[in-house]
Amino acid sequence: MMLMILALLVASDFSGTWETTYGDMVLEQSGSSVTGWYSYGTMSTIEGTVTESGKLIFTYDEGDASGSGWFLLSENGSSFAGQWRADGDRNWSGWDGHRATGEPSTWVLILEAEWQESMRENEYSFGEMLDAWLGRLEGVEIRHRFVHDLDDIRGFCIEAATLPGDVYLLFASHGTTEGIALNSGTIQPHDLADAIAPMNNLKLVHFSSCLVMAGRTDEVILNSRSDSGWRDDFAVSGYTTSVDWGGSAIIEFYYLNQILENGLTPVEAAQALNRDIRFSGTTATPYMDAAGFEIQTP
């Protein structure tokens, strides 16, 4: 009997990325336990247990609503059918899904704050410059989004967690030693770490922001998982100084190009950067202050 139960659990593997009635969903199954999230609301979570018959019985939490339901896989495991109902509701509704398709790609997600502070300033964007430059690379998908608060960051990171392939995450904003600065205020390191937690496809977090690497943001992000919880060659990079605008543009064109076009790891690209562009690290030149570019790994 025990062997039959184990066989059913193996056959009923809900792990993976799904396109569902209520948005993209990522599920992770360990034994009979299933946890995950889906892109409905700012941070919707799901957890449950696979029964001996192969049915996933779950509860969900959408922040302002919660409830329960069940999923049952098709025979070939490529889709599921199910139902859900909100807490206190007697009526059931359908919730279906199928495994996400598409070839794995390299993704660059640029999350940018609004730089201008009043109508007196022209609108400008550092991220659009990177988008245009990197958009020429074959096999690299660029997604550029403006963020205004922590909920925006969380929502985009949840969506990015469902992308098939490696994700390079760039934050373009003002920064301080306390974190990144948005119109709604400073986003603290622990909040940033929580926001990127669903992204098991993450290869790099880079801060196009002044001073962030002079604080604890990189340390908090790296310590938010065990070393084995990060993918190979994962890194956090950015600047320890109030870096010059023009200097950061030169640095990031070079750094990202080495990674995305020439195939270097972030660490290898950082080594090449510090060798080829003198002011990128701690060495000032007659025309440019030291940028304080820094990279950290688990």
- Kindly state the percentage of the chain with pLDDT values over 70: 94
Tokens of 232: 């190979």
d(CA 46, CA 170): 28
Q: Contact, 175 vs 111, CB < 8 A?
A: no
Tokens of 76: 């070939």
Closest by Cα among 113, 270, 254 to 176: 113
The DSSP letter of residue 229 is G
The DSSP letter of residue 259 is H
- 214-251 residue pLDDT tens: 999 999 999 999 877 898 889 999 999 999 999 999 99
Mean pLDDT in residue range 116-142:
90
Name the pLDDT band for 141 (thresholds 50, 70, 90). Answer: very high
Largest distance between two CA atoms of the chain: 77
The DSSP letter of residue 256 is H
pLDDT at 198: 87
- Kindly state the percentage of the chain with pLDDT values over 90: 71
Strand ranges in 39-139 using DSSP code E only, listed in sequence order: 44-50, 55-61, 66-73, 79-86, 93-94, 97-99, 105-112
Q: Is the pLDDT assigned to residue 8 strictly greater than 90?
A: no
Mean pLDDT in residue range 144-150:
95
Q: In what order do the strands lie in the sheet with 174-176?
A: 174-176, 179-182, 185-187
Q: Is the pLDDT assigned to residue 125 strictly greater than 70?
A: yes
The mean of the pLDDT values for the chain is 91
Side chain identity, residue 11: A
Tokens of 54: 């192969």
Domains of the chain: 2-99 (2.40.128.30), 105-296 (3.40.50.1460)
Q: In what order do the strands lie in the sheet with 140-146?
A: 140-146, 105-112, 165-172, 202-208, 235-239, 293-296
- 242-275 residue pLDDT tens: 999 999 999 999 999 999 999 999 999 999 999 9
d(CA 171, CA 109): 8
- The two beta strands, 179-182 and 165-172, are unpaired
pLDDT at 232: 83
Name the pLDDT band for 162 (thresholds 50, 70, 90). Answer: confident
Q: Is the pLDDT assigned to residue 98 strictly greater than 80?
A: yes
Q: Contact, 95 vs 85, CB < 8 A?
A: no
Name the pLDDT band for 4 (thresholds 50, 70, 90). Answer: very low
Tokens of 190: 């622990």
Tokens of 71: 């999923």
Name the pLDDT band for 121 (thresholds 50, 70, 90). Answer: confident
Q: Is the pLDDT assigned to residue 5 strictly greater than 70?
A: no
Greater model confidence, 44 or 285: 285
Q: Which pairs from 40-49 meet CB under 8 Å and 24+ separation?
A: 42/151, 42/154, 42/155, 42/158, 43/154, 43/155, 43/158, 44/158
Q: Is the pLDDT assigned to residue 90 strictly greater than 50?
A: yes
CB atoms within 10 A of CB 165: 15
Name the pLDDT band for 189 (thresholds 50, 70, 90). Answer: very high
Q: Contact, 179 vs 212, CB < 8 A?
A: yes
d(CA 171, CA 164): 21
Q: Is the pLDDT assigned to residue 2 strictly greater than 70?
A: no
Closest by Cα among 259, 267, 268, 292 to 278: 292
pLDDT at 159: 87
Name the pLDDT band for 42 (thresholds 50, 70, 90). Answer: low
pLDDT at 16: 85
